[in-house]
Chain A
Amino acid sequence: MMGEGFLESAMIYLAAAVIAVPIFKRLGLGAVLGYLVAGMVIGPWGLKLISDVGTIFKFSEFGVVLLMFLIGLELKPATLWQLRKPVFGMGGAQVFLSTLMLGLCASLLGLELGVALVAALALAMSSTPMALQSLEERGLAKNPVGRLTFSVLLFQDLAVIPVLAVVPLFATHALTQEANLMAVLKPFAVFLLIIVGGRYLLRPVFRYIAETRLREVFTAFSLFLVIGTGLLMQAVGISMALGTFLAGVLLAESEYRHELELNLEPFKGLLLGLFFIAVGMTVDFSLLIAEPLRVLMILGGFLAVKTLVLLALARPAKLTLADGWLFAFVLSQGGEFAFVLISMTAQAGLMDTELAALLVLVATFSMLTTPVLLLIYDRFICPHVCREQELESDVRDEGNPVIIAGYGRFGQIVGRLLMSLGIPITVLDHNPNHIEMLRKFGFKVFYGDAGRLDLLEAAGIAKARILVLAIDDQEVLLETAKRVRRHYPDLTILARAQGRGDVADLVEIGVTLARRETFGSALEIGELALKELGFGAHQAHRVARKFRRYDEKMLKDAMQFRGDQKKAIDYAIKARQELERLMQADEQEIRGRDKDWQ
């Protein structure tokens, strides 16, 4: 692809992505499926616009490397250490059980047990980019499903190292392999280099580069760092993805972490897209056309076994039923590793090429099915299990005068204040992890979606005097406020608002009081800034108080201009001038040298 047709190829890829992805996204089919289909369309089995699939595949695999590096950057070593249990427990169980079950099925179908197990092991590994990208698209990367999925993937990446080392041992014709002390020592030396370099060398280099004030040089260095680490890792026998992941972890506490993330993020996104396009292009339809039934049955069987194993594991991992299905589907596919291991086994003469081609096809197709399975999850499974999960709410009416809906950072402050005075409150939150954590700290919190009127009724809203809406999601909050107001016109509703527009919406709905969630603390910081600038503490407080009063009045007055942008803007400009006049008059009073002041 670096040849004369480079720009043409690039244009084809970009065009395919730009056309397919928004369409798929809009149809609710997800970006990943968009890339895959785009790849099939431009690939050898589609419009044949691109023929050199192998090169682009290798190139785009660097997207996976970047992905792993960025994940590593977000995980401090201490956090990684906390993950050790799920990684080795869940990850180990997944690889072991999937390999065993798939291997047994394959040997029942007539494969020799050894070959069956190797094939099973290859397919037991999932596709890191597919799984993580799917979760990220849903904003679940940091949820319990995300964490668990990631742990399993991490174990798979770790398991690859010994597997790749062992397979050549079975080779019928010798493959060279280095098995001495050096092979063990080298990776450690490299890690040491990264730790020491990251701590003592990286800072001066970054600073030196930052001083040039050339953004692209900074980006170039970031890429250089990742590619360099990747190659170094590969040289000592660790996969690039795992190696850069660990490098990322080691750099997670570096002060340049954020810059690295910002610089690499766009490359990661594009290269992962390219990776999915490449997967789409490699789909070999010839086998499918020749033996459609056999391929589809193997594919179906494979997916069924792997999904069932994952589902079984979701239980002990304490995932909710809905999350369990998601976890199983997201990891159901075979991945990049299958390609590597299968071709390696075939090269070693352990597997005939026809079987190898079939397995690669199954792995590829299984990647295509993931977005489809996730669609099935959204359309058919979630409406069923997600609902069932909600019904498990344990809300009880305790006759408390105050109900707080949403007990995150915001609701907790309200709740703690009331509780410190011994005022009994009923708390509702819909995040199970949240609740578990709060219960550990001795808070009594009910699980339940406050957006549902029946749950609020179960919590005793009919007799409560105050409902505090502290839900994070403003849309849910607005809907809840609307619904509650309709059924309980006299209830005092105090609501958390995000922006000015939300305050206006809430006032329109008829909540008793709405306050912007960041206004109070931002004003406090402003007040501190004034103090640092030499205002007396009391005067700074008065000025901030005055600002608050005026700003709130402005917000109220501006409500009449909602929907009329021109008038709203006119008003805002006028109001700002008025505010400046008022504030400066006060400032004069504070700082002026009026002779009457004692």
Chain B
Amino acid sequence: MSRVLVLFAHPNTQRSRLNRQLILAAQRLQDIKVHDLYEMYPDHYIDVAQEQAALAQADAVVFQFPIYWFSAPAILKEWQDSVLTKGFAFGADGTALKDKRFMLTVTTGGDAASYAETRPHGAPLSAYLKPFEQTARFCGMRLVEPHVCHGVGTMSEADVSAEAERYATRLQGLVTENTA
């Protein structure tokens, strides 16, 4: 059994359609710990010691967020800047994250087709996920295929439930799977 830490970044969960249901689904699972970053650190001042301790205990790490301006909401960047320090996450003694698995869970308002050259979003979604993946790689983590939900804007209630189900299965996989 693996322990999974989900770092969730959504500035307004009360008004979220999909992300809220996804994170609720995650919270119902065993061996999954959720850090709702905006809830825990409303003024963006992150408790580094606490976050590093949680990372150390986890076997797999998930960033879950809606795409904001081709990237993550601001607090997740702040989290990376302050938690992934030299000597902890990288550098000579920075091996705390080595060989842990890393997965991205992202939702987009637009549909998959809008993420292409010559389309409104300009490039495939994978292009925008690269900085996160490189960060994980730099810290010695092993990447897992990202979990993507497109077209949140046009989802029906049933679609949302189905997505929550799909996500739960995916996370459950991270828990039971011993090797990526």
Residues of A within 8 A of B (CB): 541-542, 545-546, 549, 596
Contacts and interface: CB of A to CB of B under 8 A. Distances in A.
Interface string B14-51: 00000000000000000000000000000101010000
Contacts of B47: 549
Closest A-B pairs by Cβ, 7 of them: A545-B45, A542-B45, A596-B86, A545-B43, A549-B47, A546-B45, A541-B45
6 contacts: A541-B45, A542-B45, A546-B45, A549-B45, A549-B47, A596-B86
Nearest to A596: B86
Nearest to B82: A542
Given A545-B45, A546-B45, 6 more contacts: A541-B45, A542-B45, A545-B43, A549-B45, A549-B47, A596-B86
Chain A binding surface SS class: helix
Contacts of A546: 45
Nearest to B43: A545
A357 B78 CA distance: 87
Nearest to A586: B48
A596 B86 CA distance: 9
Q: Which of A545, A546, A596 has the most CB of B within 10 A?
A: A545
Contacts of A541: 45
B134 to A, nearest CB: 17
Interface string B52-90: 000000000000000000000000000000000010000
Contacts, number: 8
A549 B86 CA distance: 23
Interface of B: 43, 45, 47, 86
A541 to B, nearest CB: 8
A429 to B, nearest CB: 30
A466 to B, nearest CB: 18
Contacts of B45: 541-542, 545-546, 549
Nearest to A594: B86
B17 to A, nearest CB: 23
A423 B137 CA distance: 48
Contacts of B43: 545
B171 to A, nearest CB: 30
A549 B46 CA distance: 11
Contacts of B86: 596
A596 B94 CA distance: 15
Contacts of A596: 86
A549 B43 CA distance: 12
Q: Which of B43, B45, B47 has the most CB of A within 10 A?
A: B45
A545 B43 CA distance: 9
A223 B86 CA distance: 68
A545 B41 CA distance: 11
Contacts of A549: 45, 47
B52 to A, nearest CB: 14
A594 to B, nearest CB: 9
Nearest to A544: B45
B42 to A, nearest CB: 11
Nearest to A541: B45
A541 B47 CA distance: 14
Nearest to B91: A596
B88 to A, nearest CB: 13
A596 B45 CA distance: 22
B86 to A, nearest CB: 6
A264 B86 CA distance: 63
A577 to B, nearest CB: 17
A545 B47 CA distance: 10
B122 to A, nearest CB: 28
B87 to A, nearest CB: 10
A596 to B, nearest CB: 6
A546 B86 CA distance: 20
Nearest to B45: A545
B139 to A, nearest CB: 15
A457 B74 CA distance: 45
Contacts of A542: 45
A19 to B, nearest CB: 59
A546 B48 CA distance: 10
A578 to B, nearest CB: 12
Contacts of A545: 43, 45
Nearest to B50: A549
B138 to A, nearest CB: 14
B5 to A, nearest CB: 21
B135 to A, nearest CB: 16
A545 B86 CA distance: 22
Nearest to A549: B47
A359 to B, nearest CB: 72
A15 B105 CA distance: 83
A560 B47 CA distance: 24
A596 B43 CA distance: 27
A469 B43 CA distance: 25
Nearest to A542: B45
A432 B71 CA distance: 56
A542 B43 CA distance: 10
A73 to B, nearest CB: 44
A541 B43 CA distance: 10
A515 B45 CA distance: 19
A46 B45 CA distance: 73
B45 to A, nearest CB: 4
A102 B47 CA distance: 76
A590 to B, nearest CB: 12
Nearest to B85: A589
Nearest to B47: A549
Nearest to A589: B85
A452 B68 CA distance: 51
A424 B47 CA distance: 35
A530 to B, nearest CB: 15
Nearest to B49: A582
A220 to B, nearest CB: 54
A370 to B, nearest CB: 57
A543 to B, nearest CB: 10
A299 B47 CA distance: 75
A546 B45 CA distance: 8
B150 to A, nearest CB: 35
